[in-house]
Amino acid sequence: MVRMTDVPAGGRQSLLIDVPPGTCSLERPALTVIMAAPVKETHAVAPILNSVASNARGSVRLHTGYLGVTLAALFLSAFLLFSVQPLFTKMVLPIFGGSPATWSAALVFFQAALLGGYLYAHLLARFLAPRRAVALHFALMTAALLTLPFHLPTGWEHPPAQGEALWVLGLFTVAIGPPFFALAANGPLLQAWFARSNHPRARDPYFLYATSNIGSFAALLAYPVLIEPLASLRLQAVAWAVGFAMLAALVTCAGCVTGQAGQSDTAASGAPTTWRCRAAWVGLAFVPSGLLVAVTAHISTDVAAAPLLWVVPLALFLLTFVIAFRDGAARMVRWLAPLQAWGTALAILSLLVNPGLWASLGLHLGLFFVNACLCHTALYRVRPGPAHLTEYYICIALGGVLGGVTCGLLAPHLFSSVLEYPFLLGAALICRPGNFLGVRTDQARAIARAALVCGLLTALVVASGLVTGADGVGTRTILALCILLLVPWKAPLQTTVTGLAALVAFIGVGSRPVDESVRSFFGVHSVATSPDGRFRLLKHGTTLHGAMRLFQDDGTPADRRPEPLLYYAPAGPMGVAIRSVRAARGGSLGRVAVIGLGSGSLACAAQESETWTFLEIDPAVIRIARDPARFRFLSECGPAMPIVLGDARRTLAEQPADLGLILFDAFSSDAIPAHLLTEEAVRLALSKLDRTGVLLFHISNRHLDLSRILARVGADLGLTAWLIQETGVSDLGTMRAAVKLLVLARDPAHLGSLLQDPSWRRVLADPDRRPWTDNYSNILQAVLDQLGG
C-alpha cells in the first residue's frame, strides 16, 4: 500500500510504502521515501511506487522459494549422509566377524570425512563467488555419482591380522569416500551461501543446522524401522544413488538462486575470532563425540553389532543438535544439570553392578542424551557471527574427529580396559554451560572448600579399597556416590569438582581386580581367578567364555587333564550332543570345525581318532588359549590342533568338504555375530559337511532368541531343527552354566539317541517369517521373540 504525507519542514512531501514484514532485510515493515522536491501530481509517481511494490512482492516469492530449495537440499543431503553410515557398515561387518569395534572405526572415518568436507566448504565459501563455487561443487558431485552404487571394492575382501582399524579406514575411503565427502560439504556450504544472500534470516543462519540435523535424525530412525527390514542391501544402494542424483540437482538449484536473491555484506562482517574461542569449539565438540563412540560400544557389546543399536545413540546425538541450536535452549540447563549429576552417579554404580539390559540401556542412553544436550547448548552459546560460520563448523568437525580417534583408535592401545568412558563422563561435567567462565573470588573459595572435602573422602575411598581388597567393591561404590551427591546441584562448579573426585575414586579402586586384562580390536578379555581361588576364568565384556579348575574341593591342586566347564561340561547338553552325533556316525566324528576358540575348552571333547580345527578371528584370544600358564585345555588335550586366524565365513570356505560336525560357538561378549546366522552362512557350512554331517549352534543369549530365525533358514535349505534350552542349572560354585543349543541336520537319524531325550524339541519354521540373509536381518525380531518366550 502506498500513501503520501506532507512534511512541514521545507514543504517537502514523503511517500510511505507499506511492505509486508519479512519482504526485505529492513527491520521496519514500512519504507519511507523523502522526495527532494514537491510533488505536484500524485499520478506522476504512481508508476514508480507500483514498480517498487511489485518488486517487493517478487522479492517475497524469491526469498520464499530460495529458503524452500535450501531447506529441501539440506534435509535430503543429511538424510543420505546418515543413511549411508549403517548401510555400508552393514556391508563391511561380516568381514570382521560382527565386531562392535567395526562401527567405532567407521565412526572415525565418518567424522574425518565430515572434517574434510567442512574444510572444502570453507575454502569454497571464502575464495570463490557463489556461481563458480556452484560449478565446482556440481562437478564434484557428478564425479562422485560415477562411483555409485556402493559395493565392496576388489582386493578388500580379506582384512589383515593386525591394524584392523586402519584397514577399515582405508576400505571406507576407497568405497564411499567421494560421495560422502561431497555430502559432508553440503551443510556448511549451503548455509554459507544463505548467509551471503539478502534473505531476512541471513543474519543468523544457524537455524539451518537444526534443520539439517532433523534430516539426519529422520534417516537414522527410518533405517532400522523401515529401510533395513523392507529392502535388501543392493536395493538400498541403488535407491541411495538415485537420491544422490536428485540432491546434485537441488544443490545446484540452491546455488544458482543465491545469485538471484542478491548478495549481502552480512557474511563479510563480524568480530575477529580468537584461539580461545576456537579451542572452546573443539573441546565442546570433542566430549559428546567421544561419548558417542564409547556409549555405542558399551551397549552393543552384549546384544548385537547391528544398525538397530548403532543408530540409537547417533540419532540421540543429532537430536541434541536440533534441541540445542535454537534460542531459548539455555533454559533447559536448570533441569538437565541435576539429571546429569544423578545420571553420572548411577552410571558409576552400573559399571560395577549390572542393572539388567533395559535399565542399563535407559540409563546410559539417557545420560548420553543429557550430556550431549549440555555440551551442544554451551557450543551454541559461543557461536560466532555468519562471517566465521564455516570456520566454526570446521572446529566442531575437528572436535568430533579427535573424540572419535581417541575412543575408537587410541583408547584400545592406551587402556587395557574401557577407562575412556568414565573419563568422558567427568569431562562432560566440566562442559556444563557456565562452568569456569567468569569465576568470582567467593566462588573460587567455595570450589576450594568442596575440593578439600572431596579430596578427604576420596582418600577414604582409596584406603578402603586397599584394606578390603576385592570384597570392598560395594563399600567403595557407596562412598563414591556420597562424594558425588554431597554438594547441592545448584552449585554447578562445586558439583563438577565433586563429580570428578568421585570418578577418580572409581577409576582408581572401583573395579574388581583381575589377573590380566587384554584389549584388542574385538574387545576386552579379562583373565581372573574366582573369589574362592578354585577356578581361572576368561571373560569377554560382561560374559564368561571359559573356566578351568585350579584346585579340587579338598584344596589339592587340579593338575590332571582339565575338564571342560560352564557351557561345555561333558554332562551338559553340548557334551551329550557331541557324543550322540559321534555314536550315530559309528564312533567317530572324523573332521570337526569349531567356530570360536575361547579358552580352548572344546579341545578336551575330541577323541584321538578325530581331527579338530578351530576358527578364531581374534589373535589375542589365540595367545591366551595357547598359554599353558593361563589355560591348559589346548596344551593338554590338543597341542597339535590347528587354529586358523580370520573371520569364520572366510576360513570355513577354505576347509575341506568332508566335515562330520561344525560347531558354531562364536561370541562377542554375549552377542552372536549376525552374519553367521544368515542363509548364506548356513549354506556355506552345509556345503562343507559330509553326507551325515551336522551343524550345532550355541545360541545362549540373555537378550535374543535366535532359534526361530535359524529354524526358518534351515527349512529353506531342507534341514530340520532341534532345540534344547536349560533353565535353573547355572551354578558358579561348580562352574556350570545353562546352555541353549540348536542342531540342524538333513535327517533326524543323523542325531542318534539325542532325539530320545525329552529335553530336546523340534522347532518348526514359521512360513510367514522372512529368513535372514546377508542383505536382510532384523535384530528387533529376535528381541521380540525373546520377550514373547
Q: What is residue 19's predicted lDDT score, i.e. its pLDDT?
A: 41
Condensed to tens digits (0 to 9), the pLDDT of residues 262-279 reads 444 444 444 567 888 888
Inter-CA distances, 728 with 547, 698, 733, 756, Å = 19, 18, 14, 22
What radius of gyration, in Å, describes the C-alpha atoms of the chain? 32
Average the pLDDT over each of 535-549, 617-631, 711-725, 754-768 and give the range with the smallest value: 535-549
Q: What is residue 714's predicted lDDT score, i.e. its pLDDT?
A: 94
Give alpha helix (H) positions in 197-263: 207-222, 228-230, 233-261
Most confident of the ranges 417-426, 433-442, 458-467, 731-740:
731-740
Q: What residues are paired with 300 via a beta bridge? A: none
562, three cell numbers: 582339565
Q: What is residue 200's predicted lDDT score, i.e. its pLDDT?
A: 76
Condensed to tens digits (0 to 9), the pLDDT of residues 226-239 reads 887 778 888 899 99
Measuring CA to CA, which residue among 556, 547, 729 is closest to residue 630?
Answer: 547
Q: What is residue 462's predicted lDDT score, i.e. its pLDDT?
A: 52
In this structure, the dihedral spanned by the alpha carbons of residues 110, 780, 673 and 420, taken in order and rounded to 10 degrees, is 50
450, three cell numbers: 568442596
Overall average pLDDT of the 61-82 stretch? 81
CA dihedral (130, 132, 135, 137) positive or negative: negative
User: For residues 314 and 440, what is the distance between their CA atoms, to the nearest angstrom?
Assistant: 38
> Which residue do the cell numbers 561348580 mark?
734
Overall average pLDDT of the 201-221 stretch? 80
Confidence of residue 721 (pLDDT cuts 50, 70, 90): very high
Most confident of the ranges 329-333, 556-560, 686-690:
686-690
Residue 17: pLDDT over 60: no
Q: What is residue 2's predicted lDDT score, i.e. its pLDDT?
A: 43
- Per the CB < 8 A criterion, the answer to whether 217 and 311 are in contact is no
343: Cα within 13 Å, side-chain hemisphere: 23
- Residue with the bigger pLDDT between 502 and 333: it is 333
Q: What is residue 266's predicted lDDT score, i.e. its pLDDT?
A: 46
Q: Angle between the 101-127 and 42-92 helix axes, to the nearest 10 degrees?
A: 150
Q: Is 251 exposed, middle or buried (0-12, 13-18, 19+ CB in 10 A)?
A: buried
Residue percentage of the chain with pLDDT more than 90: 25
Overall average pLDDT of the 506-529 stretch? 67
- Per the CB < 8 A criterion, the answer to whether 542 and 730 are in contact is no
Query: How are beta strands 2-6 and 13-18 bridged, if at all?
Result: antiparallel
Residue 667: pLDDT over 60: yes
Average the pLDDT over each of 283-292, 342-351, 400-409 and give the range with the smallest value: 342-351
| Residue type present at position 362 | G
How long is the chain?
Answer: 789
- Residue with the bigger pLDDT between 284 and 100: it is 284
Is omega for the bond preceding 149 within 30 degrees of 0, making it cis? yes
Average the pLDDT over each of 486-500, 534-548, 554-568, 715-729 and give the range with the smallest value: 486-500
Condensed to tens digits (0 to 9), the pLDDT of residues 586-623 reads 999 999 999 999 999 999 999 999 999 999 988 889 99
Q: What is residue 507's predicted lDDT score, i.e. its pLDDT?
A: 52
Average the pLDDT over each of 574-578, 660-664, 754-758 and give the range with the smallest value: 754-758
- Residue with the bigger pLDDT between 486 and 356: it is 356
518, three cell numbers: 587384554
Q: What residues are paired with 720 via a beta bridge? A: 745
Q: What is residue 216's predicted lDDT score, i.e. its pLDDT?
A: 84
User: For residues 151 and 293, what is the distance between their CA atoms, to the nearest angstrom?
Assistant: 25
Residue 11: pLDDT over 50: no
Residue percentage of the chain with pLDDT more than 70: 73
Q: What is residue 48's predicted lDDT score, i.e. its pLDDT?
A: 45
Q: What is residue 261's predicted lDDT score, i.e. its pLDDT?
A: 46
Q: What is residue 493's predicted lDDT score, i.e. its pLDDT?
A: 52
Q: What is residue 446's predicted lDDT score, i.e. its pLDDT?
A: 56
> What burial letters (b/e) apply to 154-190, b meaning 16+ CB within 10 Å?
eebeebeeeebbebbbebbeebbbbbbbbbbbbbbbb
677: Cα within 13 Å, side-chain hemisphere: 29
Average the pLDDT over each of 111-125, 295-309, 738-752 and give the range with the smallest value: 295-309
Q: What is residue 497's predicted lDDT score, i.e. its pLDDT?
A: 53
- Per the CB < 8 A criterion, the answer to whether 114 and 400 are in contact is yes
Residue 172: pLDDT over 80: yes
- Residue with the bigger pLDDT between 670 and 784: it is 784
Q: What is residue 308's predicted lDDT score, i.e. its pLDDT?
A: 59
In this structure, the dihedral spanned by the alpha carbons of residues 500, 502, 505 and 509, taken in order and rounded to 10 degrees, is -130
Q: What is residue 271's predicted lDDT score, i.e. its pLDDT?
A: 54
User: For residues 63 and 529, what is the distance between their CA atoms, to the nearest angstrom?
Assistant: 70
Condensed to tens digits (0 to 9), the pLDDT of residues 672-683 reads 788 888 999 999
Measuring CA to CA, which residue among 98, 275, 259, 244 is closest to residue 181?
Answer: 244
172, three cell numbers: 571406507
Task: Give the 3-state secondary structure of residue 489.
Answer: coil
User: For residues 111 and 650, what is the distance between their CA atoms, to the nearest angstrom?
Assistant: 30
Confidence of residue 436 (pLDDT cuts 50, 70, 90): very low
**Helix count and strand count (H, E) for the chain:** 24, 15
Overall average pLDDT of the 445-462 stretch? 55
Residue 454: pLDDT over 80: no
- Per the CB < 8 A criterion, the answer to whether 98 and 674 are in contact is yes
Start-to-end CA distance of the chain, whole Å, equals 72
Confidence of residue 504 (pLDDT cuts 50, 70, 90): low
Most confident of the ranges 75-79, 470-474, 667-671:
75-79
Q: Angle between the 101-127 and 275-300 helix axes, to the nearest 10 degrees?
A: 150
Q: What residues are paired with 525 via a beta bridge? A: 518, 540
User: For residues 139 and 133, what is the distance between their CA atoms, to the nearest angstrom?
Assistant: 10
| Residue type present at position 211 | T
> Which residue do the cell numbers 584392523 mark?
164
Mean residue pLDDT of the chain comes to 77
Residue 19 DSSP class = -
> Which residue do the cell numbers 516469492 mark?
61
Q: What is residue 512's predicted lDDT score, i.e. its pLDDT?
A: 47
Residue 58: pLDDT over 80: no
Confidence of residue 687 (pLDDT cuts 50, 70, 90): very high
Q: What is residue 32's predicted lDDT score, i.e. its pLDDT?
A: 40
| Domains assigned to the chain | 2-57 (no CATH), 58-430 (1.20.1250.20), 441-509 (no CATH), 567-787 (3.40.50.150)
User: For residues 442 and 57, what is the distance between their CA atoms, to the nearest angstrom?
Assistant: 58
User: For residues 690 and 146, what is the distance between their CA atoms, to the nearest angstrom?
Assistant: 45
- Per the CB < 8 A criterion, the answer to whether 226 and 338 are in contact is no
Measuring CA to CA, which residue among 208, 205, 239, 254 is closest to residue 70?
Answer: 254
Q: What is residue 524's predicted lDDT score, i.e. its pLDDT?
A: 79
Residue 487: pLDDT over 50: no
Q: Which helix (H) or strand (E) holds 698?
A: strand 689-698
> Which residue do the cell numbers 567356530 mark?
595
What DSSP assignment string belongs to 305-367? Answer: SSHHHHHHHHHHHHHHHHHHSSTTGGGGHHHHHHHHHHHHHHHHHHTTS---HHHHHHHHHHH
Q: Is 331 exposed, middle or buried (0-12, 13-18, 19+ CB in 10 A)?
A: exposed
Condensed to tens digits (0 to 9), the pLDDT of residues 637-649 reads 989 999 998 888 8
- Residue with the bigger pLDDT between 462 and 170: it is 170
Overall average pLDDT of the 453-460 stretch? 56
Q: What is residue 14's predicted lDDT score, i.e. its pLDDT?
A: 45
Longest dimension (CA), the chain: 120
What DSSP assignment string belongs to 704-760? Answer: ---HHHHHHHHHHTT-EEEEEE--S--BTTTTB---EEEEEESSGGGGGGGGGSTT-
Task: Give the 3-state secondary structure of residue 136.
Answer: helix
